[in-house]
Structure 1
Amino acid sequence: MKQFINKIGAKQDLTFSESKEAFKILMEGKANDQEIFDFLTMLSNKGESSDEIAGGVYVLREKSKRVNVEDCIDTCGTGGDGMNTLNISTASALLLASMDIKVAKHGNKAVSSKCGSGDVLEALDININLDSNEIEQQISKNNFGFMFAPNYHSAMKFVGPTRKKIGKRTIFNMIGPLSSPALVKKQVIGVFDKTLLEIFANALKSLDIKFAWIVNSDDGLDEISPYAKTNVMQLKNNEITEITIDPKKLKINADNFENLIGQDAKFNADKMLGIFKGEDNDFSKAVCLNAAAGLIVSGKYENYEQAYNYARDFIKSGAPYKHLVKIQNA
């Protein structure tokens, strides 16, 4: 481990194979606490590279339990934007499922926010502790399965205590969203920092992802924002292109960021129930903007504006609530 720590300490990036080797040591419990601390903090100080992220994802996927599904998408982002918004990507995942898109949603409980995807789903009476077979059945039946990260990534136990001690974001906040136990090939990923857009796109390219949108908005959201332009890095068939989404061009009349601020799990779940029953507000618009990205990467739509308008009409119909009840009763 020392050679990798020394290289990072000298502000040099690890290669893909070096990163895989380092993460194998970490994930097999062969590094001591000080080595883990130095490795993670020095990586953070240097700035994580695409190869370093891809190497970590490769090992974490290799060590995880597997969920065997096909042609699913995931909407798991990095979190950590510090905005404490409502659960936009989780709501968009449920909305997509109601629109007949298969979603294998990977996520956790709150780390840096008040309410993570696991918390809000529990508040909605959705079981987050399903095994692989049960998730496969749920996706087949209702287009939605939630993989609660701690149940699938037991190798993370070796770094958990040191991550808590560090108390701030590390590379694991970046590799987590890319390490789906379902090995999805299509993703919408929100990132907490604009500089990560290209880094993530290149990491995903190394990991053979077919179609992904990596998003970060000018107002700091790790989501597509209804209030400001959103920067998108698209990876499609090994080609990376930049896209900008402008809510003004989509005629989205949203102007108060406070409308997206979340609270505890019950509050956030109630807001989600409201929009699924047809309430029209800034949260509904934000969810549709992000669900539209899911419609694009799933291949259902090619034109983003058309995808957004379809999601808007659909959510106002109240149909997503009926589908949510099916998921709750499953």
Structure 2
Amino acid sequence: MEAKQLVREVMRKLTSREELTEEEIRGIIEGIRDDKISSVQIGGFLVALLMKGQTVREIAYIAKAMRDVALPLNPDVPGELVDTCGTGGGLPTFNISTATSIVAAAGGLYVAKHGSRSISHLSGSADAFEALGVNIELEPSEVEELIEKIGICFLFASLFHPVMGKVWEPERELGIKTIFFTIIGPLINPARAKCHINGVYKLELVRKMAEVWSLLPHKHILVVHGVDGLDEISLIGETHIAEVKDGKINEYTVTPEELGLERCKIEDLAPGDPQYNAKVIRDIFEGKEKGPKRDAVLLNSAGAFLVGGKVSNLREGIEYAKKVIDEGKALEKLEQYIKASHEIKKKKKL
């Protein structure tokens, strides 16, 4: 079916509140990639899908198609890749998932950290890594090499997903917030990491995202939401978790006290600009920050070590993360990553 006919059929179905097929969604995504669908048609599709509401299967179909049209990444590593990408949109905090990704790599996991610049807050993962001194604008082959050699690299979403750039402008002009810049992001890691801590900004998304993950290739997923509004494992209060493993979903809640940590206030985790957030991360790794900010990183790093198979529960993960930071391994990994991200570009120019 040519693009014009496809768009009309898709719009008819969406306005009739009918579920789209995988083939229809794939056709739309490929049409956007190939510039066969206009910005007006993209805008119409976004609004109609938003108004109808996306089913679990439709979200999974979009994720599959977006993965397939992304620039491919295939790092050769033993074991599974880990990602710590959330939806964003929750209460603002310093870049906890960014710090967590570095601790995870320092603890022996291979991390493909997918992310972008901030849309809703002061500093996204891309902004934080840049402020730390990391070169984030790398070619796919360079990203693969860093993951293989040092165990971590940031995957800058805008460099790997051509469709995202084409969806962004209609979405911005319409002033709407669709799934492409919220819940789709964690599902479309270009390296197809199968182990994730996937934070979500609304409680009702926990089960829904877990069901989506169950339809995608995965090994071990934690979909998490702090009921206070965090898209992280929360140090402020209760966290609702849906754990996805072998296609099965197990839901439970945890509190900081159950895991041996003290609760804090949201103000204790407040963000600043990228330079401030980078300083917080360094202070944690250098042992200067011993309070709630460090505990929040320990808690979320525990989740990474759990999905990555280093520990069997979150309590063990917290102790593992403490050891990684206290022995200076997290700081060492950060410095190694900064240096390698620049050297790989210099090597290419020679």
TM-score range, shorter chain: over 0.9
Task: Please say which of residues 174-183 and 257-266 is displaced more in the overlay.
Answer: 174-183
Instruction: Give 1:19's aligned residue.
Output: 25
Aligned equivalents of 1:46, 1:288: Cα separation in 2: 40
Instruction: Give 1:30's aligned residue.
Output: 36
The 8 Å contact of residues 2 and 35 in structure 1, kept in 2 or not, is answered as: no
User: Number of aligned pairs?
Assistant: 329
Mapped pair 1:117 → 2:145: no
State percent identity of aligned pairs: 34
Q: Secondary structure at the match of 1:138?
A: helix
Instruction: Give 2:292's aligned residue.
Output: 282
Task: Please say which of residues 246-255 and 225-234 is displaced more in the overlay.
Answer: 246-255
How far 1:147 sits from its partner (Å)? 1.1
Listed as ranges, the matches of 1:184-195 within 5 Å are 184-195=193-204
TM-score (norm 1): 0.95
The 8 Å contact of residues 215 and 232 in structure 1, kept in 2 or not, is answered as: yes
Instruction: Give 1:226's aligned residue.
Output: 235
Aligned equivalents of 1:199, 1:15: Cα separation in 2: 18
Aligned equivalents of 2:278, 2:227: Cα separation in 1: 27
The 8 Å contact of residues 83 and 197 in structure 2, kept in 1 or not, is answered as: yes
Mapped pair 1:7 → 2:16: no
- Which among 309, 319, 335 is matched to residue 309 of structure 1? 319
Instruction: Give 1:326's aligned residue.
Output: 336
Rg larger for: 2
Instruction: Give 2:266's aligned residue.
Output: 257
Instruction: Give 1:202's aligned residue.
Output: 211
Instruction: Give 1:154's aligned residue.
Output: 162
Q: Secondary structure at the match of 1:159?
A: helix
Moved over 3 A (4+): 15-18
- Structure 2 unaligned segments of length 5 or more: list them: 1-6, 341-350
The 8 Å contact of residues 196 and 220 in structure 2, kept in 1 or not, is answered as: yes
The 8 Å contact of residues 74 and 93 in structure 1, kept in 2 or not, is answered as: yes
Q: Aligned-residue CA RMSD in angstroms?
A: 1.6
How far 1:85 sits from its partner (Å)? 1.0
Q: Secondary structure at the match of 1:104?
A: strand
Q: Secondary structure at the match of 2:101?
A: helix
Q: Secondary structure at the match of 1:220?
A: coil
The 8 Å contact of residues 28 and 158 in structure 1, kept in 2 or not, is answered as: no
- Structure 1 unaligned segments of length 5 or more: list them: none
Q: Secondary structure at the match of 2:197?
A: strand
Aligned equivalents of 1:310, 1:294: Cα separation in 2: 11
